[in-house]
Chains A and B, each alone.
Chain A
Amino acid sequence: MTRPSNLAPLRWLGGPLIWTAHFLLVYAAESLACTRGGGPLLHDAITAVATFAALLGLAVLFRINKRAADAPSREDFEMAEWIGLGLVAISALAVVWSGLAALLIPACVLPA
């Protein structure tokens, strides 16, 4: 019987935290790439790399959380680990959707 460490909440919240980092990065990068040089190609590259990295990070986190969830522990702690896994999954969905936006819409185009 194990109980989660005091740092476990970071693991549980890891999914949304990765989403946050990815979101801020791709959004800020468009402002910078389009106004301060680099252009659409640079932003395409940044978005592709960031999205790939975020999904990879989520996959790794999923494995880590899964291992913790599989370890025998009290019922309510098991549920906490499960919540961490759920958050990774929903964050992955959100990252994929951001990627979809970049895939369908060209960078550095203003509404007209």
Chain B
Amino acid sequence: MRARWRGPFLLLPLLLAGCSTIQSALHPVGPEASRILDLTWVLFALAAFVTIIVLSALALALFGPDRARRRIADGRTIVALGIVFPVVTLTALLGYGLWVMRENTSPSPAQPGLQVEVIGEQWWWRVHYRLPDGTIVASANEVRIPTGREVEFALRSADVIHSFWVPSLAGKLDMIPGRTNHLRFSADRPGVYRGQCAEYCGGAHALMAFEVVAMAPEDFDAWLAALPATLPPPAEPEATRGGELFVAAGCGGCHAVRGTAADGTTGPDLSRVGERRTIAAATLPNTPDNLARFIAEPSHIKPGVLMPPFTVLSADERRAISLYLAGLR
């Protein structure tokens, strides 16, 4: 069952040109990830220092002058370098690490600026935004957040254990069936930050990614306010035909598009799929071509996916559906 595709990833660089920092713990854009990076540099500096001590002691022990070797062979050196030094540095380090841990988890007094529930499923992310009025609006595989406001994520799983991780913004937290874990973080500046499932969840674990899109607060508020609304019907005739085919082919049995007859909940919500930058859980750039390819042979792009191939539809029909979906924005 050798996969016969190679194309999808070749297209990604176009999208990602010049931004190899979008999934990196070394490029933090929020206070949580920044504090951890500070700790990281301290740890690396200390590790380098200890390595130098050990290597020089070893080199002196092997090749040093007799006086140095006698001193290293002395039991007091073992006590000084092997006990006293580690105990002092480790105590300091432990204290520092515990302090960072407390800072990163201390409940902030303010209400979070946004509450989002993310549910891990094999192998995609179900997203629920909680609106200020309490209503829940569904989305998938992309989370939009306002900058500068703390966002609280409620993390759950629908099947096996997954792990929610956006390195640029915060450390990871597991999504465990039967439990809800809470993660809070904020982004300092607008941008796209990539996340990926970090706990092996079987099959296409490698292809379970997502993106966090941080927007200026006013842009975000406007976007969120418009999110529950039903979109106007497409203007182009081909897209209109695609919308009809979408319902006729039974896509609505699994996928939902708000305001239409499609109200399935098994698969990702597609109400605003046209707005998303990627499809198939951040595996392919979101283009009508890629959408059409995914509809034809989903398991070529993501082996093991539940969605059946829609090769019964003609290429034109798939094209029409993909145009319809691309217009959902």
Contact = CB atoms under 8 A, between A and B. Distances in A.
Contacts of A93: 87
A109 B106 CA distance: 8
B37 interface: no
A111 B107 contact: no
B98 A112 contact: no
Interface range for A: 10 to 19
A110 B182 contact: yes
Interface in B66-101: 87, 91, 94-95, 98-99, 101
B158 interface: no
Given A93-B87, A110-B181, A100 B95 contact: yes
A9 interface: no
A109 B184 CA distance: 13
Contacts of B247: none
Contacts, number: 34
Given A97-B91, A111-B105, A104 B98 contact: yes
A104 B99 contact: yes
B201 interface: no
B2 interface: no
A105 B184 contact: no
A109 B173 contact: no
A112 B183 contact: yes
Interface of A is mostly: loop
Contact of B105 (A100, A101, A110): A110
A104 B101 CA distance: 10
Interface residues of B, number: 18
B102 A101 contact: no
A105 B104 CA distance: 11
A112 B95 contact: no
B102 A105 contact: yes
A8 B181 CA distance: 48
A106 interface: yes
Interface in B195-227: none
Contacts of A109: 105-107
Q: In the complex, which of the residues A93, A97, A100, A112 has the most CB atoms of chain B within 10 Å of its own CB atom?
A: A112
Contacts of B95: 100, 104
Contacts of B91: 97, 100
A111 B155 CA distance: 12
User: A-B pairs with the 10 shortest C-beta distances?
Assistant: A104-B98, A112-B182, A112-B184, A111-B105, A112-B105, A105-B102, A105-B98, A109-B105, A101-B98, A112-B183
27 contacts: A97-B91, A97-B94, A100-B91, A100-B94, A100-B95, A101-B98, A104-B95, A104-B98, A104-B99, A104-B102, A105-B98, A105-B101, A105-B102, A106-B102, A109-B105, A109-B106, A109-B107, A110-B105, A110-B181, A111-B104, A111-B181, A111-B183, A112-B107, A112-B152, A112-B182, A112-B183, A112-B184
